[in-house]
Structures are given as C-alpha cells and as structure tokens.
Structure 1
Amino acid sequence: MNLRLLAAIYAGQVRDKAIVADEFLYYADLLASLRHDEIVLLGTLLRNSTAYNGDTIYGNEPMHRTRSELVPDVFAVPEDYNAALGALLRTGLVSTQAIGGSIGGGPSMVYHATSLLRRLNALAEIEGVMSREQASTARAEST
C-alpha cells in the first residue's frame, strides 16, 4: 500500500503540475515508515475529522468515531489504537493536544489530522488508495 500511495502522490503532483523532487522525496521517506494499520488509521481519522463542506472537526468526536470503526477490526484492543496514534506523531501527519483535566483526573489527549496530512490526501486520496489495494488483493486471491 505504501507504493500505491507514493504512486498516487506522484500522479497527484503531475495532475497539479507541481512536481517538486524535494517534496516527492519527503513523502517517499515519510510513507516508507508507515505500517499498514497506520495508513488505515490516517485515512479513517482524516475522514472522521472532515465535515461535509471540507471544514475541520475538532474535539473528541473524530477520535471516538475512528476508534469505534477500527477497534477490534484493525487494532485488537484500544491500547494498540492509542499506541499507533502516538507512533504517528513521528510523522507530523497527526498532532496532539491535551484537553480537560480536573481534580482527581488528568487531561485526555486528542489527536488531530494536520495540514500535512490534508495536503498528502489532496494529492493521493488515502481511502481511495486503500480501496484499490483491497480490490487488487481480492482479485489476486480469487485467481
């Protein structure tokens, strides 16, 4: 899936007539480090944090919807989901913010899709690439 994403990014840069070697190489390095479940998490989080009109949805709601979609189908337990979100901080594709906190309770961490993730998705729609990957895998398994 990493190679499909990279190919889609290249195609997106060609489409936008904005092929920049440094940017392409940056995306290549970034995508090479992603695990399959992290890519699924990024696409799902981005979808859940984008309103129908394209505006960003902030707060806990996108995370709650994403977690309910991915646990236990992609991540066996919530702790694995949380660990993947934490690991994605290394990429700059997600950011975190502590919210809440009161006497006897600490703050909770909320993760957000960043403008870098949105820019990457504009070049290569992540969930579209995931769909094509699933269709390709299904065809290969049926032959």
Structure 2
Amino acid sequence: MTLLPDFIGDIAASASGLPFGKAVSSLVEGVWRKRQERAKEVFLDEMRRGNLPPSYVQVDDETIAILLRFNRAAMEGAAKRNLRLMARVFVGMARVHSIQADEFLSLADSLSSLRREEAVVLADLLCAFKAIEDGLIENNQKNVNAFQEAKEKSMARLSINEEGYLSFCGSLLRTGFVLSISGFDGGVYIASPMGKRLAKLVEIEAIDLDA
C-alpha cells in the first residue's frame, strides 16, 4: 500500500522531460524541486498540527486528485500561507471522514490566489461570523455587527483606512467566500455559505498569514 508521505514526495517526478533546453531545464527543475520540498513540508506539518497520522488517510482517487491540485499550486509558486490553507482544508475533511475532491478543488481555486491582505480580511470576517447561525438574512443587525467587528480588526492589523478595507472586501467577492448586501451606507460584506463551510474546515485565523 502506498503511504501518503511517499506519494507526496513522488509527485515531483512528473517534472522531468520539460520542453526546454538542457540549461534552462536544469534551472527549472531546481526551482520545482525546491517548491515540491516546501509543499511536502507544509502538507505533512499541517497533518501533524491536526493530529492526523499519515496512516489514517487512504491514498485513493479522491486523495490523489487533491494532492495533484495542491502540488500544482506549489509548482505555480503559491505562497506558503496559501499552501497551509489548502493543506488544512484537506486535514479538516479527513478529520470528519469526508475527503471530497470536487469540494477541495473548488476551495483550492479560491485559496491559492489569495493575497496576504485578502487572507487577513477573510480570516477576520469568517471569525466574526462564526457566531451567526447558517441562513443569511439581509439587513439583519447581527450581520452588520459582525461586519463592523471584522472591519475594525482588519483595519488595525493592516494599518489601512475604511476605503482600503472595502476594496479588499470587494476583491474577495471573486472567491465566493463573501457576499455583499445592500441597504447600508458604504456596503456590508458577510460570510457566504461557501465561506462558512471553509470556516468549519479550517481555523483560518490561527494561520500565520505573514509566512
């Protein structure tokens, strides 16, 4: 039976046979090896943090699809914080015995492109909305209060004004993790069902977003 750490380490073998000259291929392969080593380190570190032994995870079609997507993000140069977020999604799924490649791929597409500032704003939003039950109600005062709490926290952490904060909220709309609701001066952004699902799988606020 193939063990998870072995599989993660072997994925990099697919980097051979690159369509470049010998000198360029050597440089590219060197970069890929470094990124693959970092990816493996991050993935296994997050499994340890989540008290998830590698032997606990079966390497099947779902797991392979997830690891290939994780590896692609690493090869494309995703920041370590983004890789940690993706790895924690996998750990969260494994802990509840629900490893689903389709869901992971959807979340990974949004997580892999997050800039640091967006990750901070998202983390604070999801943390503030954890106390609100599922089922979004427009113009609900609880949504407004949670948004104000997240806004103040992020503005202090990032040393930005309200205009800058709202611009980052607006850019997060592309991820599907947040929604914008109307009827308030300046607009209010709230956690979407997809964002709340992410919050159930990952304690995003606990991740070192400066890494």
What TM-score does the superposition give when structure 2 sets the normalisation length? 0.53
Aligned to 2:129: 49
Number of the residue aligned with 2:89: 9
Q: CA deviation at 1:72?
A: 4.0
- Once residues 18 and 120 of structure 1 are traced to their aligned partners in structure 2, the CA distance between those partners, rounded to angstroms, is 13
Match of 1:60 among 129, 137, 144: 144
Deviation at 1:29, TM superposition (A): 1.1
Q: Note the aligned Cα RMSD (angstroms).
A: 2.2
Q: What is the number of equivalent residue pairs in this alignment? A: 125
Instruction: Say which SS state the counterpart of residue 18 (structure 1) adopts.
Output: coil
Partner of 2:193: 115
Match among 76, 86, 102 for residue 22 of structure 1 = 102
Stretches of structure 2 that go unaligned for 5 or more consecutive residues are: 1-80, 135-140
Alpha-carbon separation, structure 1, partners of 2:105 and 2:95: 17
Correspondence for 1:103 = none
After TM superposition, the runs of 4+ consecutive aligned structure 1 residues lying more than 6 A away are none
**Which structure would you say has the larger RCO, counting Cα contacts within 8 Å and 6 or more residues apart?**
1
State the Cα deviation string for residues 58-113 of structure 1 (Å, max 9, x = none). Answer: 3322222222212243142221100000011111111111115xxxxxx5411110
Compare 41-50 and 4-13 and name the one that shifted more.
41-50
Alpha-carbon separation, structure 1, partners of 2:194 and 2:205: 16
Find the structure with the greater CA-based Rg.
Answer: 2
The answer to whether the 8 Å contact 2:130/2:199 transfers is no
Q: How many Å separate the matches in 1 of 2:149 and 2:199? A: 19
**2: CA distance, partners of 1:58 / 1:85:** 18
**Structure number having the greater helix percentage:** 2
In structure 1, the gaps of 5 or more residues are 101-106, 138-143
